[in-house]
Structure 1
Amino acid sequence: MRSIRKSVVSVLGWAAFTACDTPGVTLIEPDQSSVPDSVKFVVSLADSALAAALGWSDGVPNAEIFLHRATEQFRFTELHTDETGTVGTTDLIPGLYRVAALRTLTVDEAAAVGSVVRAFGNGFKTNIGRSGTVSIELRSDQPGSLVFSELHAVSQLSIGPYQWHQFFELYNNGDTTVYLDGMYWGRAFHLYRDYPPYPCSATEAWRNDSLGVWAIFFHQFPGSGTDYPVVPGQVVVVALDAVDHSVVSPVFPNLSQADFELSGTADVDNPDVPNMPAVGLRAWFRDHGLDIHAGQIYFLSLPLDLATLPRARPEFSGEDWIRFPREALLDVVWTSARGVSPDQLALPCDVAVYPLLDGLEGGFAPQWNDSTIALHRRILRAGPNGPVLQDLNTSFVDLVTGMRSPGRIEY
């Protein structure tokens, strides 16, 4: 055995030696460069006057940058910019990335801009190679109105026997009373993965529409104009089914005191809770009302006459969709799916909704067997009427995962 082993080594050595003189064979020295491939990130503020007031004209210092490779489930890279708003890294694997940045003012910094703690952020998807520069322009937090404050969703794999405990919250993030009467809540255009039947090139015009969001499934709040006021700092809970779900399992919430419930064709009805009828162009495939799913885009719209809104039929759909105008949209939120689902077998399109409505999906929805957590909008600062929630139109930095808390603002 020993002689055979020696012979093999000798042959390999001879082959390596003679390869130097073999026609057509060139040996390449290993890369000995002392400078590795590097990707640089540059963060600036979109509002140049505000940047000057803060001393950030050269860039945003101490900004948090979050990187998530689209084909990975949990691995995030977090970076922080230097005093010039720049940071570099040599650790990235090339690919499609979710890129987001966030900068919140300190109390001392806020003194230069009206003594109000503010936040700046943005996010998008982009392909990152082994080198190059990625620029991130941060937009300012939005003045308040009604916003989504919590979503207790089921993941797209949740097809178990009981999942009617879903709910979402609205919160008056402003300083004036708002009336819910006649408003619409629904799911925006949802085909944003590169499937052969409807590739990204075909769905681009429907996803990335600067004029608004296209929808086919939506509900409407009841009321004749001033029946359902929401005062500043008030929370409104909308349940899929407004019943005590804890009687089924103690891990489910008691939603019998919800403010509204979604109507379905065969669900239980709480006579003490006002119903939100389904008024979309097609009935949802299950009979409890529109599900609150992970990995979807939801919107809240002012009252409108549906008959006056544009309708169109995508060639890949075979059904009419209706467009809610951008100026009527009070809030848009884009939730991220967790875990591998059938909808994730194709890569996502770069844009799922017009970026100024929501730049990047955020939060991780609960797994199918975790009914205790929800997605929450971050608390930015204390206000005269209660917490002021962060609203950067970028769910990636606006939403966090925490224990569900229907009717309460806790995060």
Structure 2
Amino acid sequence: MINRILAVIISFGFLAVACDNPSGVDPVDLTLSVTFDESYGNLPAADVQVTMTNVTSQQAFNGSTDTEGQVLFEDLPSGNYDIQALLTLDAGTVQSITGVLPSTDEITFNASVANVLINPGTQVPAIELVSGRLGDLVFKQIYFAGSDRVEGALFRDQFLEIYNNSNETIYVDGLYIMGVFGNASTSRTEYVTETGQFDWNQSIGMPTDIDANADYLHAKWIYQIPGTGEEYPLEPGESIVVAQTALNHQAPYTDNGGNTVTVGDPSLTVDLSDADFEGYVGDQFPTPLASDVDNPSVPNLRPIYIFGRDMILDNLGRDGFVLFRSDEVDGADLPAYPSPISREIRDNTRMYPQIPIEWVIDAVETQPSPANQIPRKLQNVLDAGYTYVPGGGYSSNSVIRLEAQRFGDRVVLKDTNNSTEDFTFLERAAPRVDAPQSPNTTARYLFRTNRVVLEDPFLDNLESQWARSTGRR
């Protein structure tokens, strides 16, 4: 993911050694210890290039840390020094240390401290070496399958769990959550590319100076987390739960029609009453969906573009999920285009919002199953693989990201931009549970059912539309 800040703490210890010195000032043997900061377990930092420059004479002394993160400067003249440190790591090394794959080929860490007194009686303070944040927000768990149509909660218990996989506090205010629209059919037409996905470059009105297939995504639904910028901090290693409906789905509830609804088997579903946000859209329609009940104690997402009459995820797994930010355009003002199969624009033609992939923070491709794949919606640069639930739709299964590394209490989740490698599944979705440490491939294979289908009459008849609050049609 995108790198922002990784700190390396350089602590200094020294040993003064007396010797014959005509100036009367004893030189110093100075040992510097270089470690990654506590968020990465204070691991030793090897191969750090350290330069100490005498402020008066401008004489420079250079050294490099060993495998223990230490460098020795011998016979260093006492005086005031500017200290600089430099560490450049390739992406693979950064991933092996931190568990996070950076978005660039190399990461450079720098530090400097000015005018530090070095003599036999001075204690040298620590400094931090900074490169930018490493890691970002990621999807930790996606519960799209829902639970049994008869004994469970159908789709109303769906949720997304978003995790701070970085080493810094991140404010989730203004974050957009998006489902990707695309071709879900394996049939080939003149309006699809060689991958079977829509050829968006053929959409009516699409600018001719862009590559809409390679560089853009088109939305099936979009919601935004509210906030003014610093209302909703998310600490490293913590997550938020975004519920379709923030209720305890294991217990009876009263729907919008005044009916009491009870699930047959509470173990099939989840308690989302303590979710951090919910996707309530009942105020966007003359007749809200019966199950779209507002929990007044849970903040509502801002609806931008709605699929159906609720924050409905595709139970069959025919989706792509995206987190993005935009400081350039408000979600309500995004450009929108018809699908390539629409060959004329009418009043009722669906227009799908478009975002550039450079805005994307995290993306996850899901599929019905390995044997029942549909054309991919996400470019390989966003997700080179896919994940799925072996039980199929309405199975209570969720997909969950694997643990990569642990630094004290902070867990770094696996994020290689390949969901095939990064995710496994839970037989029963459960928000905020610990991430598994192994992919559980055998159990996933054994759990496979014959219920996996590629069509659902209810879902396939739903349509996307702008939220009424956006003022767009």
What TM-score results when the alignment is normalised by the length of structure 1? 0.59
Q: Decide which of 249, 256, 275 is 2:273's aligned counterpart.
A: 256
Cα gap change, 1:193/1:361 in structure 2, threshold over 3 Å: closer, same or farther? farther
Q: Decide which of 411, 417, 422 is 1:398's aligned counterpart.
A: 422
Q: How does 1:312-323 map to 2 (within 5 A)?
A: 312-317=337-342, 318-323=349-354
Cα gap change, 1:239/1:198 in structure 2, threshold over 3 Å: closer, same or farther? farther
Whole-angstrom CA distance in 2 between matches of 1:191 and 1:395: 20
Q: Is structure 2 residue 282 aligned with structure 1 residue 241?
A: no
Q: State the 1:326 CA deviation.
A: 1.8
Whole-angstrom CA distance in 2 between matches of 1:209 and 1:143: 29
354-363 or 166-175, larger mean C-alpha shift: 354-363
Q: Decide which of 169, 182, 194 is 1:177's aligned counterpart.
A: 169
159-168 or 229-238, larger mean C-alpha shift: 159-168
2:228 maps to which residue? 224
Q: Which amino acid letter does the alignment assign opposite residue 418 of structure 2?
A: T
1:272 maps to which residue? 297
Cα gap change, 1:159/1:213 in structure 2, threshold over 3 Å: closer, same or farther? farther
Cα gap change, 1:292/1:169 in structure 2, threshold over 3 Å: closer, same or farther? farther
1:304-340 superposed Cα distances (whole Å, 9 cap, x missing partner): 4236543322331442122222222111011121498
Cα gap change, 1:348/1:245 in structure 2, threshold over 3 Å: closer, same or farther? closer
Cα gap change, 1:159/1:200 in structure 2, threshold over 3 Å: closer, same or farther? farther
Cα gap change, 1:369/1:217 in structure 2, threshold over 3 Å: closer, same or farther? closer
Whole-angstrom CA distance in 2 between matches of 1:333 and 1:300: 9
CA contact (8 A) 2:144 2:158 kept: yes
1:22-63 superposed Cα distances (whole Å, 9 cap, x missing partner): xxxxxxxxxxxxxxxxxxxxxxxxxxxxxxxxxxxxxxxxxx
355-364 or 309-318, larger mean C-alpha shift: 309-318
Q: Secondary structure in 2 aligned to 1:236? A: strand
CA contact (8 A) 1:374 1:401 kept: yes
Whole-angstrom CA distance in 2 between matches of 1:352 and 1:279: 20
Q: Is structure 2 residue 160 aligned with structure 1 residue 168?
A: yes
CA contact (8 A) 2:388 2:399 kept: yes
Q: Which amino acid letter does the alignment assign opposite residue 357 of structure 2?
A: R
Count of equivalent residues: 273
Q: State the 1:384 CA deviation.
A: 5.0
Q: Decide which of 348, 351, 357 is 2:374's aligned counterpart.
A: 348
1:220-242 superposed Cα distances (whole Å, 9 cap, x missing partner): 11112111111111111111111
Q: Decide which of 211, 217, 223 is 1:213's aligned counterpart.
A: 217
Report the RMSD for the aligned CA atoms in angstroms: 3.4
1:186-230 superposed Cα distances (whole Å, 9 cap, x missing partner): 211231433356753371347973323111411111112111111
1:90 maps to which residue? none
Q: Once the two structures are aligned, what percentage of the paired residues are identical?
A: 25
Cα gap change, 1:300/1:337 in structure 2, threshold over 3 Å: closer, same or farther? same
301-310 or 165-174, larger mean C-alpha shift: 301-310
CA contact (8 A) 1:166 1:292 kept: no
Q: How does 1:9-408 map to 2 (within 5 A)?
A: 113=93, 116=97, 118=99, 143-154=134-145, 162-195=154-187, 200-201=192-193, 203-205=198-200, 209-247=213-251, 248=263, 249-251=265-267, 252-265=269-282, 266=288, 267-280=292-305, 283-285=306-308, 287-293=309-315, 294-303=317-326, 304-306=329-331, 309-317=334-342, 318-338=349-369, 348-349=374-375, 351-364=376-389, 366-368=391-393, 370-371=395-396, 373-383=397-407, 386-403=410-427, 404-408=429-433
CA contact (8 A) 1:184 1:302 kept: yes
Q: State the 1:366 CA deviation.
A: 3.6
Q: Which amino acid letter does the alignment assign opposite residue 203 of structure 1?
A: F
Q: State the 1:364 CA deviation.
A: 2.2
Whole-angstrom CA distance in 2 between matches of 1:365 and 1:273: 31
Q: Secondary structure in 2 aligned to 1:169? A: strand
Q: Which amino acid letter does the alignment assign opposite residue 189 of structure 1?
A: F
Whole-angstrom CA distance in 2 between matches of 1:239 and 1:365: 22
Give the unaligned 5+ runs of structure 2: 1-89, 107-132, 202-210, 252-262, 283-287, 343-348, 437-473
Cα gap change, 1:198/1:152 in structure 2, threshold over 3 Å: closer, same or farther? farther
Q: Which amino acid letter does the alignment assign opposite residue 246 of structure 2?
A: A
Q: Secondary structure in 2 aligned to 1:396? A: helix
Whole-angstrom CA distance in 2 between matches of 1:292 and 1:229: 29
Q: Which amino acid letter does the alignment assign opposite residue 321 of structure 1?
A: Y
Q: State the 1:369 CA deviation.
A: 5.0
Cα gap change, 1:149/1:409 in structure 2, threshold over 3 Å: closer, same or farther? same
Give the unaligned 5+ runs of structure 1: 1-109, 121-138
Q: Secondary structure in 2 aligned to 1:116? A: helix
1:375-402 superposed Cα distances (whole Å, 9 cap, x missing partner): 1111111135611111111111111012
2:54 maps to which residue? none
1:24 maps to which residue? none
Cα gap change, 1:214/1:158 in structure 2, threshold over 3 Å: closer, same or farther? farther
Whole-angstrom CA distance in 2 between matches of 1:218 and 1:369: 23
Whole-angstrom CA distance in 2 between matches of 1:218 and 1:176: 26
Whole-angstrom CA distance in 1 between matches of 2:405 and 2:232: 27
Q: State the 1:118 CA deviation.
A: 4.8
Q: Secondary structure in 2 aligned to 1:213? A: strand
Whole-angstrom CA distance in 1 between matches of 2:190 and 2:398: 31
